[in-house]
Amino acid sequence: MNMKIGILGGGMVAQAIGGKLQALGHDVMIGIRNPDAGELEKPRNGGKPLKEWAATTGAKVGTLSATAAHGELLFNCTQGNGSIPALKSAGADAIGSKILVDVANPLDFSKGMPPSLLPEFAHGTSLGEEIQKLLPNARVVKAFNTIANAVMVDASLVPGDHDLLIAGNDAAAKAEVSALAKSFGWASIVDLGDIVGARSTEHLLPIWIRLWATSGSAMHNIKIVR
């Protein structure tokens, strides 16, 4: 079923997910804080200038609030250290009770590489939980935050059997996100329970980064064995 989908954030993760969804037939808008002409021509956090991205994909670009209003289902692809203000700018009214897939990771680059987790999201909470607290009516599903952006939308880039990890309070929302993930090629999806499970997937970033640093490739993931 094709949907209107809003992607909050305009970097490489937003472009990978938004581009894939548009290619699959969905009606995608990417939202950034200031989508003015100059901003659309700048390269963005590992991605293309959004003017070029929109021309290539056929997707739209708008403000955060217009994107939240456009989507029947939303993705948070902002950087983790700016997700809370970006979601406030998108607006609780426009987000309402929609599914909000939280792909962000609360990484702290302020002390250099490798990044740590931001302390305010790493002890007794997580970014996913804080987003759910900020937007109690939204159906937050933490997902896709443990793999490279290319792998998020094409699971076959990592060979063999490996897992997409999801967590959230609403079973129907997780089922809908799982259906989207299957359209990206994900055969194995591990449900880590309610949104508290976001702690465990956000804590996977250090090993993801370490494997990247020691192997030179981002094309990896984990399989839960039990």
Binding site for a second copy (CB under 8 A): 108, 111, 114, 116-117, 119, 122-124, 158-162, 165, 191-193, 196-197, 199-201, 203-207, 209-211, 213-215, 217, 219-226
Q: How far is the CB of 124 from a second copy (least distance, A)?
A: 5
Which residue, 2 or 111, is less far from a second copy as judged by CB? 111
Q: How far is the CB of 203 from a second copy (least distance, A)?
A: 4
Which residue, 24 or 222, is less far from a second copy as judged by CB? 222
Question: What's the rounded Cα separation, in Å, for the pair 38 and 49?
Answer: 10
The edge-to-edge listing of strands for the beta sheet with 4-8 is 60-63, 27-32, 4-8, 73-76, 99-102, 139-142, 164-168, 189-191
Q: What angle do CA 19, 102, 183 make, to 5 degrees?
A: 45
Task: Look at residues 84, 89, 52, 47 and name the one whose alpha carbon lies nearest to residue 61.
Answer: 52
Which residue, 60 or 199, is less far from a second copy as judged by CB? 199
Element (H, E) at 7: strand 4-8
Question: Strand 99-102 relative to strand 73-76: parallel, antiparallel, unpaired?
Answer: parallel
Which residue, 177 or 198, is less far from a second copy as judged by CB? 198
Element (H, E) at 16: helix 12-23
212: tokens are 């990247």
Q: How far is the CB of 64 from a second copy (least distance, A)?
A: 29
Which residue, 165 or 177, is less far from a second copy as judged by CB? 165
Largest interatomic CA distance in the chain: 52
β-strand partners of 62: 31
Which residue, 95 or 103, is less far from a second copy as judged by CB? 103
Q: In Å, what is the CA distance from 116 to each residue of 24, 105, 209? A: 35, 10, 10
Q: Which letter does DSSP use for residue 185 in this model?
A: T
Q: How far is the CB of 219 from a second copy (least distance, A)?
A: 6
Q: How far is the CB of 165 from a second copy (least distance, A)?
A: 8
Q: How far is the CB of 169 from a second copy (least distance, A)?
A: 14
